[in-house]
Amino acid sequence: MNIVMVSCQHFTSGIGNYAYELAKHVRAENPELSLFKVYKPGHADSSFHEQAWIHPIPYKSFRDLHPYILPLFIRKALGNTKADIYHAHWFLSGLALGYALGRPAVVTMHDVSLLHIKEASATYEAYYKWALERFQKKRFTLVMVSETAKQDAVKYAGYPENLIEVVPNGINQQRFYPLPTEAEDAKKAHFRIIYSGGLGKRKNLELLFNAYKLISQKHSDVELVIAGAYPERTAYPQIARDMALKNVRFTGYLPDEEMNAFYNSGDLLIYTSLYEGFGFAPLEAMAAGVPVITTSGGSLKEISGGGGICTDYDEHQISEAANELIASEAKRRTLIEKGRNWVQQYTWEKAAEKTLSIFKNKLS
């Protein structure tokens, strides 16, 4: 089966990482696979193009016009490829597949949060909705990364349920794993609570701050370390100062190769996102041997709840759960073991197997 996959994002992003991991594992079972991805000389992921099966999509950003122009660059790069099936890894590359390729197509949307979590402009939201309508008209199969995200696509996009498949992401446990105790900086002066992820409004860090304030009132030896790009562009550092929170540190962007050490530096991850179609950070922390408290929004209860402590959106409930863990090493160890067992179900091998099955059914 000749497969062409298309990624509209660099491998340094979450969607880009999905593209590489999935393509690599599908290719292990079906070598006749090519991956087209966006390319800029000198970008941090440009070395991946040394692999013959990964093809460049040269593009220009055009700033605010980028998402509206990029599908045209993608379609140009695809040229006269003749695949049996095409697989786009988000809606922008999915739009490119709709331009005169005339072959069966699958689009991983991940989730449709843009339709029910107000994070984008009205123009961009309308563009996103138009893309989904176009995919439905062309009978493209959508891949969602959780059952919750699938039901959201039916509810908010009106997408036919028989055209939606669920394929959970994998967690690369060669990247995320417990480090030896001596390498963990285990003798930290403070009990370290960590957060990893975006710093947008949906991530709901105000709730994390409120819970941390309650925790620090009971435990003076705690600290909060937040890993996420460009904190200086958000209000969060000022909010932390206004709340007089002590021992709060923002790392800024951390490259992939530093993330396992970051997770291992933590004693507890607290994740308070309002909505996730999947939610990598809680599972990555579990794989690294860190206990996890997570809220239940979107798919978080479905995907991560069985490996951590799942709470309501209540700072008192979160702080009480955290206080119990801080006070008891035995409870932390029990939760660590629970998380490590839970995360074993999420592998890229399983994701690749399910994706190949979708391709075969689409072609039959």
Judgement on whether residues 148 and 252 belong to the same structural domain of the protein: no
Candidates 87, 77, 80; CA nearest to 101 is: 80
Number of compact structural domains in the chain = 2
Over the chain, what is the mean pLDDT?
94
Confidence band for 189, pLDDT divided at 50, 70 and 90: confident
Residue 333, pLDDT score: 97
**CA 344 to CA 353: how far, in whole Å?**
16
In a domain, residue 227? The reply is yes
Judgement on whether residues 141 and 200 belong to the same structural domain of the protein: no
The length of the chain is 364
Residue 36, pLDDT score: 97
Judgement on whether residues 262 and 310 belong to the same structural domain of the protein: yes
CATH of the domain at 190: 3.40.50.2000
Using H for helix, E for strand and C for coil, what is the string for the chain?
CCEEEEECCCCCCHHHHHHHHHHHHHHHHCCCEEEEEEECCCCCCHHHHHCCCEEEEECCCCHHHHHHHHHHHHHHHHCCCCCCEEEECCHHHHHHHCCCCCCCEEEEEECCHHHCCCCCCHHHHHHHHHHHHHHHHCCCEEEECCHHHHHHHHHHHCCCHHHEEECCCCCCCCCCCCCCHHHCCCCCCCEEEEEECCCCHHHCHHHHHHHHHHHHHHCCCEEEEEECCCHHHCCHHHHHHHCCCCCEEEEECCCHHHHHHHHHHCCEEEECCCCCCCCHHHHHHHHCCCCEEEECCCCHHHHCHHHCEEECCCHHHHHHHHHHHHHCHHHHHHHHHHHHHHHCCCCHHHHHHHHHHHHHHHHC
Judgement on whether residues 116 and 195 belong to the same structural domain of the protein: no
Phi and psi torsions of 176, nearest 5°: -120, 110
Confidence band for 63, pLDDT divided at 50, 70 and 90: confident
Judgement on whether residues 28 and 165 belong to the same structural domain of the protein: yes
- Find out whether 277 and 113 touch, Cβ atoms under 8 Å: yes
**CA 225 to CA 250: how far, in whole Å?**
6
Judgement on whether residues 115 and 230 belong to the same structural domain of the protein: no
Average pLDDT of span 148-170 = 97
Query: What percent of the chain is predicted at pLDDT more than 70?
Result: 98
Judgement on whether residues 82 and 101 belong to the same structural domain of the protein: yes
In a domain, residue 127? The reply is yes
- Higher pLDDT, residue 245 or 255: 245
In a domain, residue 69? The reply is yes
- Find out whether 55 and 77 touch, Cβ atoms under 8 Å: yes
In a domain, residue 98? The reply is yes
- Higher pLDDT, residue 183 or 23: 23
User: Is the pLDDT at 291 greater than 50, yes or no?
Assistant: yes
Judgement on whether residues 14 and 154 belong to the same structural domain of the protein: yes
In a domain, residue 211? The reply is yes
Residue 87, pLDDT score: 97
Give whole-number Cα distances, 88 to 56, 67, 285, 313, in Å.
15, 15, 28, 34
Residue 182, pLDDT score: 53
Judgement on whether residues 263 and 275 belong to the same structural domain of the protein: yes
In a domain, residue 18? The reply is yes
In a domain, residue 175? The reply is no
Judgement on whether residues 135 and 17 belong to the same structural domain of the protein: yes
Judgement on whether residues 17 and 157 belong to the same structural domain of the protein: yes
User: Is the pLDDT at 222 greater than 70, yes or no?
Assistant: yes
In a domain, residue 176? The reply is no
Which of 9-13, 249-253, 268-272, 303-307 is the least confident region? 9-13
Enumerate long-range contacts of 181-187, CB under 8 Å, 24 or more apart. 183/264, 184/264, 184/265, 185/265
Judgement on whether residues 337 and 353 belong to the same structural domain of the protein: no
- Per the structure, the complete domain to which residue 199 belongs is given by 181-343
Query: What percent of the chain is predicted at pLDDT more than 90?
Result: 90
User: Is the pLDDT at 69 greater than 50, yes or no?
Assistant: yes
Residue 184, pLDDT score: 47
Average pLDDT of span 292-300 = 95
Contact residues for 41 (Cβ-Cβ < 8 A; gap 6+)? none
User: Is the pLDDT at 185 greater than 70, yes or no?
Assistant: no
